[in-house]
Structure formats: C-alpha cells, structure tokens
A and B are shown apart, each in its own frame.
Chain A
Amino acid sequence: MADLTSEFAGIQSPNPFWLASAPPTDKAYNVNRAFEAGWGGVVWKTLGEDPPVVNVSGPRYSTMFSNERRVIGLNNIELITDRPLQINLDEMRQIKKDWPDRALIASVMLPMNEKTWAKYIPIIEDTGADGFELNFGCPHGMSERGMGAAVGQVPEYIQMATEWAKKYARVPVIVKLTPNVTNILPVAHAAANGGADAVSLINTVNSIMRVNYDTLTMYPTTDGMGSHGGYCGAAVKPIALHMVAEIARNAETANVPISGIGGIGDWRDAVDFLALGASNVQVCTAAMVYGFKIIDDLTSGLSDFIDAKNLHTVSALVGKAVPSVTDWQHLNLNYVEKAVIDQDLCIKCGRCHIVCEDTSHQAITHTVKGERCFEVIDEECVGCNLCVSICPVDGCISMQQLTSGVDPRTGRDVQAEKATWTTHPNNPMAK
C-alpha cells in the first residue's frame, strides 16, 4: 500500500484528491458526504461579497454524450455561491472542526479593489480554512462583471490581486487559472510574481454545447435565450495537461506547485496530471456524473500504480514525465518507426486500411493473395500512429522502431545519432 498522504503548498491531506470548487462543495451537507466517502480535501464553492449573486432558475448544465449516454463533456452557466456569506462561513468552520485531517480551501472571487480584499480575506480565514484559492477563471457571468476570467486573462490584474490576497492572508494562496488564454505562461508567471504559493488549473473552457434542432436556438436556453458556458469533463483533459506541462517545464514557473484540474475521472487521469507536473489534483465533473464513490477507484488505483512502479509516495511520481516534454524542433528526425499489425488479434474491420488510404499514406493493404488481409507496407508507412490510434482492438497494431538497416520508404540508412530540425538542411534558420 503506497503512501498517499499529500502536502500541497504546505497544506496537508490524507490523499492528493480534492474536490474542486463547484456544486459538490457548495455546502456542508455535500462536503460531509464527500469526506465520509474518503476525499482528501475540498475547495469550497467560490465565496463572494454579500449580497450574494443570483443564479438562473432554468437549466445550468448540458452535456456532450457518447451514444451510450456516457458524459464526455459538461457545460455550465452556474455562478459563484448564491448563499449569504455568513452561512458559508459558519458551515466551513464546523466542517474544519469535524474533519481536522482534511484540507479545506476557501475559494474567493472579489472585485478589483484592495479595500474589499482587506475586508473579506481575514473574515474568511477565521473559519480555520487551510488556504485560499483565487478564482480568476470563471468564464461566464462573473467575467461580465470584471471578475473571474476577466481578471485571469490580464497578467497585471492577476499579479495585483494576488499581492492583495497575500498581504491580508496568513495561510497559503493558490491562484486558479483560466484556460481561455492563448498562452498559459504569462498568467502563471504573473501569479508567481504576485507571490502565489501555488497555481491550480484549468478552470472551464468557453463553450456553447449545441443548438436545439426543433427550435433552432442555442441549447440549452433560459426563456429562449442562452449564454456561453464553461466546458469541463473528460473532453478538456488534454488541454489541461498541456497547460500543466508548460508551467512545469518552463524555468520561470517550474518551482510553483501545481494543482491539476480538468477531466479527471479515474486514477489514470490522475497519473497523467501528476507525472506531467501537478502535485495534487482536483475533481468536479466526474463526481457530478457518478457521485463521490469514485474516490475508491482514484485512491486504490493510484496506490497500486505507485506500488507497481516502486515509487512509494505520490511526490515521487510528480513531474516524472516532464523531462520528456519538449519543443517540436528538438525531436529526433532520424528516429524511424513502422506500424506492425498483429494478424492473430486483427478482427479484419479494415478501418486501418481505409483511414491510411483516404487520409494518410496508402500504407496498409486490404487484400493479400486474394484474401481480406490488412498488412503494413513498410515502403509507404511514415510511422504516423493514425492506425494505432483508431484500431478498435487494444494492442492489435503497435509501432516498432527501425534500429538499423535501410528505411524502405526513404531508401536511406537508419542513423543511430540524433538530428533535429535545428540543424536540418531544409531549415533556413539552421545553425
């Protein structure tokens, strides 16, 4: 049994799985249930100034489904907490008393003036919360009021607000980033410059789910009108992973602890985030789709994985994959792989043939000696991995490295030494 205990920016929790600030952490009732189920911590639903905001009384959510109605992505237009501040503070205080070993983080969103921060930060900290998370990410509603993503998209604002939070808080301050930027590094850097103890990412991605095919309005609507929402769930994980890895591998931000968020549903997703540089992870959509019980798979799966890899602790896994992330220009252009189809596993659906034929390099047969048969033609295969990516049978097609001899496609010898674009003769900027 691996040691799952976690320390994140000085905040302790029995495991690295926190519930992200969202409906699952909206009130004491839910949080009690989450802790009973075994979650390591919660980031309370974002607090704001009184009087509280008002949510629509129509649909807040919509989802992208697979045919089997598995949720692939979730879109929401919910605002921050719509309950009076004092009720939230009382409940938080009680929760911290009842669950002292769990992490309790106060998420806050406040207008851009220092006086407000000076007023609210101490009151909230007084609940016993272990840290703050500054919500600079909410892409809908709040951003129209100059908060959330409206702050998170401007590095100067991030830095300014972070400085205010740090000035009035004694506990650690985490800055939650929005993915609705073209480059995550300037905003992450701004948080670090403002003194943030950590960053967390991603918040939701601007999105419209679809239209209603009967009314030809966007879907869903409130009284016939809709507004863009924030997208989350499995579909956004790759976007989040890229942003996490960028922060983790960039010298100026590499030392900032990262709380990874976005599409985590099972322990493998958690491994992705941890290995790419996150020190802990947060979950929202998967809990909203399946309930709190998923924590059992998250913890046991991660524990078994860490054991199997002989890593012993979560922190030993953190960042393991970061050194493998680089810029395209540093990839080895002398490295050659070819696809290989295992004929014993092949079910002869022919999908690899048709995708390679129609959209790639015409490198897979459909008939061999008059029989329906799918084999790779090494003379044509560029090693793109498309066939592997679309084959419905796990392990049927694999990529195998050509280590010596001649690449039948190019007719050139396979070179042992590395050569990249930086020195390639076709590159006008080659060194």
Chain B
Amino acid sequence: MTDNLATERQADIRTGRLSDAEIEQNFTDKCPPLSHAEALIESDRCYFCYDAPCTEACPTEIDIPGFIQQIRSNNIKGSAQTILTENIMGGMCSRVCPTEILCEEVCVRNIHEDKPVSIGLLQRFATDPIIESNTELFSRGEDSGHTVAVVGAGPAGLSCAHRLSMLGHSVVLYNRDQKPGGLNEYGIAAYKAVNDFAQREVEYILSIGGIDVRSGVSLGSDLSFPDLQQQYDAVFLAFGLGGANKLGLPNEDIEGVLSAVDYISDLRQSENKGGLPVGNRVVVIGGGMTAVDIAVQSKRLGAEFVDIVYRRGAKQMGASRHEQELAQTSGVTIRHWAQPTRILLDDRVTGMQFERTELDAEGNLRGTGEHWSLDADIIFTAVGQTFTDEVFGEVAGDFEYQYGKLLVNDNRRTSVARTWAGGDCIFGHDDLTVTAVQDGKLAAIDIDRFLETGQQGDEAWQT
C-alpha cells in the first residue's frame, strides 16, 4: 500500500471550536459533590462490616466503615481526620480513584443489591470542607534534627514529606516543575479536579510546615544523586516517569502527532481552554486512563470525531469499564484489536493506517495482515511512559531494577543505602495517585524508623 491512501482533505485544526459557555459546561465537575442530605442517606447504607473488604481494597487502608460512621453522626471533622490520617490526599483520591476497581468493587452491597455504597463521594464530602477552610488536623512533630531530601513533589513526594514532618523531620523537597502536585496538577483530567483543587490541596499539605520546597530544580541536571546522599540523612525518590513511549513508526515527529500527556499538561495549565488548537478528527492510540482522558477532553474541547484504537480487547484495557463507559457516553468511538502500522501524511499528518490483530494459539498478539485506515487531523499517542535512569548519571548502575523501574522492598527501600523510592518510578506500583500516596507514607514511616534506630540500609533491604 502507498501513501496516496491518505484522502485529499485539508487539515482542520482550530482554536475556539466551542463558545466559552460550552467549554465551561463541558469542564465542570464530572461527579458533583453530595449534598448534606445525600451524604447522610448514603452513609446509612454502610453495613459497618467487620474487617471490611473496602478497607482492604484501599491501597492506603483507610478505615472506611469508620469514617462513614462518623459522617452518620455528623462528626465530619472526625471523619476527615480518619481519612487523611491514612491518606493525606484523600481529597484528590476521592475524585480520581477508580473506585469501581478498588473499595467500591468489593462493597458487600454489590452482592446484596448490586449497588455499592458511594465511598468515593462520601470521602469527598468529608474532606472538602477541611481543605476548603484549611482546618489544621495535623501538626509538625518535635524537631528530630534530621533532614531528608525528597525528589519530586507529586503525590508520592508530598505524602512522604507530610508524614516526615509529622514525625519531626525536616524536608527539602526538590521539584522539576514550577508547580508542586505532579500529575495531579499536570495530568489528571480537568473535569476531575475543578477549581484548582490540586493546588489548594498542596497548600493544605504544605501548611504543616517543615517542608522547604525548591521548584524548578531537577535531579540530574541541577543536582546529582551523590550530592543528595552526602547532604541529607535520607533520600526519597519520587520523580515519576520521564519520557512518553513512542509508537516506533517512521515519521513520528511529524506535525500533528502529539504526546497525550504533553497536551493534557497544556490543557491543565491553560487559562483559556478555548484558545487550545483542537483537531476535528482525533485518533488516540492506547488503552489506558490517559487514552480515555485525552479522547474525552478532545471531545469536550469540540473535536467532532474521536476514535480510540487499542490493539487488544475491552477486557485488557488499562482503563476501567467505568472509564470506557465515560468515553463512550462522551461520544468517543473505541475500536479494539487493531495496531498502528503507518502514519499517513503529506506535509503533515492526514491519517493513520492500522492492521487488525488477534491472539494466536499461544495467546500472543499478532497482525492478521488485513489493513484499514482512519482520517486524522491529530494523532495522540497514549501508550505509556517510561522510567529514565539518566537522572542518576554515573551512579545509575548502583540501583537494582525490575522491568526497567526501581526495585524496592515492602518498606519502599531501594538497594542503595539511605535511599527510598515510591510512586510511578518504582516497580510493582500500579500507576495510581492513591498507590503513590501509600508509597510515600510507608517510606516516611520506614525512614523515621531508620533515623531513630540507625538500622542500615543493606540489612534492612534483605528483610
């Protein structure tokens, strides 16, 4: 097949496809908060299970029946305390957690009546007023004299810093981006965290004190890992994932092929969403949460045709069923079992050619040789991000890795002395805000144990 497969059509990329009012409407809260009355009624549905399955399913182990009972008794502050003690980002998590595959999936109400307690919405109900009013629930512990370096101010880094401060340690928090928050600020879909919630939550977390944030400072270019090791009593690495994966096709750098993560970051930072260039025909390659997010947001910015193309089936998609449904009800077409084979172009992108896929007898994915194509003004790649060890420079070889990510033990210790890691940059972490928060918390608790007892990294690594 040849390039003239591309149809003769003008690229249609414009700003201002929708009116400001339409944009505003499209980017309001995806799940509006519960009213007081709704929260009371919903909290009454909790059975207060023993050894509750929901708590076990929560990566941060929030005492869910406990906080819901506190809502029932109108003890909202106590409820927030229960949540935030285990998960200082309980506010953001209540908005972005895929609860349908976490706490709400195992709610016993599913067996009883096929409708779980709305745990996420109740969690938001309890925590919103605390962040809103900046009510102090946690205070800095008595100064231990220790200082810990945290690299990366995303969910993992902030969670670790906050817990370290509670435990009395001082923290220097280095962050590459100008704003702290990590992907909460630059990645999460705009309609999941409206009204600048990410920054308000960061302010709340930092208000505990004892955390010195240094923005615009990158490990690797502005400071080296050996320097950190030398200057601080312990180091926590939480710099997330660096580069976006490529499709591995010729002409991938041509105009019109964009990384979804970069575009979402622009979208999240833009003051005027209507000013973003939006294609009329958008094709998204990938099957995860990022693919859904870019597809839905493109639609909400006014793209007319948005297709997600994923090389396997609906079951294998990284995006949960709930997310897939969100895409479909937003008018996005999801096409399964097709892999990109060629970028169609003239002086810029005009479309994409795909090959049908199937599983062979051994269950491996293979192309069938049958091709089809889609017109496109924009192609978004959303095929994952990779860990880059460049930040470590010469000492990169000191760390142990698994599948290209940092290897840590249960307490989030790396193989390098006095160094812990968490969040997207470690192996075994499932790329969610909530797991990043748990990593930070566990690491802080272990760092504290280490600083108080002096237990050395090597022997601890073995445990």
Contact = CB atoms under 8 A, between A and B. Distances in A.
A119 interface: no
Nearest to A391: B47
Given A67-B72, A392-B112, A351 B51 contact: no
Interface stretch (B37-45, B153-161, B267-275): B37-45
A348 interface: yes
Interface string A112-142: 0000000000000000000000000000000
| A-side interface size class | 10 to 19
A67 B41 contact: yes
A349 interface: yes
B109 to A, nearest CB: 8
Given A67-B72, A347-B112, A354 B41 contact: no
Contacts of A427: none
A350 B108 CA distance: 10
Interface of B: 40-41, 43-44, 47-53, 72, 108-109, 111-112
Contacts of A353: 50
17 contacts: A66-B44, A67-B40, A67-B44, A67-B72, A68-B44, A347-B108, A348-B108, A349-B47, A349-B48, A350-B49, A350-B52, A351-B47, A351-B49, A366-B50, A366-B51, A392-B47, A392-B112
Contacts of B47: 347, 349, 351, 392
Given A350-B50, A351-B49, A393 B44 contact: no
Nearest to B112: A347
A368 to B, nearest CB: 14
B181 to A, nearest CB: 36
Interface of A: 66-68, 347-351, 353-354, 366, 372, 392-393
Nearest to B110: A347
Smallest CB-CB A-B distances: 9 pairs? A350-B50, A354-B50, A67-B44, A347-B111, A347-B108, A349-B49, A349-B47, A349-B108, A347-B112
Given A348-B111, A354-B51, A372-B53, 4 more contacts: A67-B44, A348-B53, A351-B50, A392-B47
A341 to B, nearest CB: 14
Nearest to A213: B74
A349 B40 CA distance: 20
Given A67-B40, A67-B41, A68-B44, A393 B50 contact: no
Contacts of A393: 112
B72 A351 contact: no
B43 A67 contact: yes
A349 B44 contact: no
A366 B49 CA distance: 12
Given A67-B72, A68-B41, A351 B112 contact: no
Nearest to B48: A351
Contacts of B43: 67
B57 to A, nearest CB: 12
B264 to A, nearest CB: 39
B225 to A, nearest CB: 43
Nearest to A65: B40
A45 B152 CA distance: 74
A349 B50 contact: yes
A397 to B, nearest CB: 14
Contacts of B53: 348, 372
B34 to A, nearest CB: 13
Contacts of B50: 349-351, 353-354, 366
Contacts of B44: 66-68
A59 B44 CA distance: 28
A350 B112 contact: no
A393 to B, nearest CB: 6
A242 to B, nearest CB: 29
Nearest to B37: A69
Contacts of B49: 348-351
Nearest to B39: A67
Nearest to A346: B111
A350 B51 contact: yes
Contacts of A349: 47-50, 108
Contacts of A351: 47-50
A141 B112 CA distance: 48
Residue among B44, B47, B109 with most chain A CB within 10 A:
B47
A366 to B, nearest CB: 6
A389 to B, nearest CB: 15
Residue among A349, A353, A354 with most chain B CB within 10 A:
A349
Nearest to B52: A350
A354 B65 CA distance: 14
Nearest to B72: A67
A349 B113 CA distance: 13
Contacts of B52: 350
A250 to B, nearest CB: 41
Contacts of A392: 47, 112
Contacts of B40: 67-68
A392 B47 CA distance: 8
A165 B392 CA distance: 101
A68 B38 CA distance: 9
B76 to A, nearest CB: 13
Nearest to B51: A350
Nearest to A367: B51
A392 B43 CA distance: 15
A379 to B, nearest CB: 21
A392 B51 CA distance: 16
Contacts of A366: 50-51
A219 to B, nearest CB: 14
A100 to B, nearest CB: 46
A393 B111 CA distance: 11
Nearest to B43: A67
A393 B109 CA distance: 10
B210 to A, nearest CB: 36
Nearest to A354: B50
B105 to A, nearest CB: 14
B151 to A, nearest CB: 40
A347 B115 CA distance: 13
B40 to A, nearest CB: 5
B243 to A, nearest CB: 42
